[in-house]
Structure 1
């Protein structure tokens, strides 16, 4: 499982000209599911994201989590995080999970994130989406449940 996590002052996702998800200050999470990902990967990823200390404390250090600051989360499913560009000019998505599996695990991740008491908005699974954000910092992290990076 892979995620790109960005600290934002605001973010939104639009499908067919309609805003389907919008948040204020918090985290934009681009969330990818790989072949072979399990519930253990999901639990690790959601726990990691919910607890990441990406927000500044009174001393200006990143010591507070999205939970600590009452932030929001916009989660967008993103199979292209599994794009392999090592050969040729067209990315291969062979290691991305099939849509049925990815959709189910994505919905479970959203539910688990909401279980932390966080306000979570989402995009529309498998839709063509436009994501807008104002990155705060900028702070952007890559997270992989296999700990490849």
Structure 2
């Protein structure tokens, strides 16, 4: 499982011009699932993300976590994180999980985040989405559960 995590001042996702998810301060997560991902992968990333100290304290040092700041998450499914661009000019998405497994893992991941006490908004799995946000910092991290 891969996650591109971006610290955000505000974010929203639209499907067919309708707002499906919106947060104020927090994190925007682009979430990709591959074939062999399990609940263990989702658990690891969820725990890591909500406790990662990437928000500034009163001394402008990254010492606070999402939980410390009572921030929210906008979670967006993103199969293209598993695009392979090594050959040719068109990405190969063979490493991305099939939709039935991907949605199961994506939903489990979001439920795990919620169980850790974080407010989570989402887009619509499989839909064309317009995601907009203000990257705070900017702070952007790439996380991969396979690096456990």
Matched residue, 1:36: 36
Unaligned residue ranges in structure 1 (runs of 5+): none
1:91-122 deviations in whole A, cap 9, x for unaligned? 01101111000001111111110111111100
Matched residue, 2:54: 54
Matched residue, 2:78: 78
TM normalised by structure 2 equals 0.98
Query: How does 1:6-25 map onto structure 2 within 5 Å?
Result: 6-25=6-25
Count of matched residue pairs: 148
Q: Which portions of structure 1, spanning 4 or more consecutive aligned residues, are displaced by more than 4 angstroms?
A: none
Quick one: distance in 2 between partners of 1:140 and 1:23? 17
Distance apart, 1:51 and its partner CA:
1.0
Matched residue, 1:145: 145
TM normalised by structure 1 equals 0.97
Higher helix proportion = 2
Matched residue, 1:4: 4
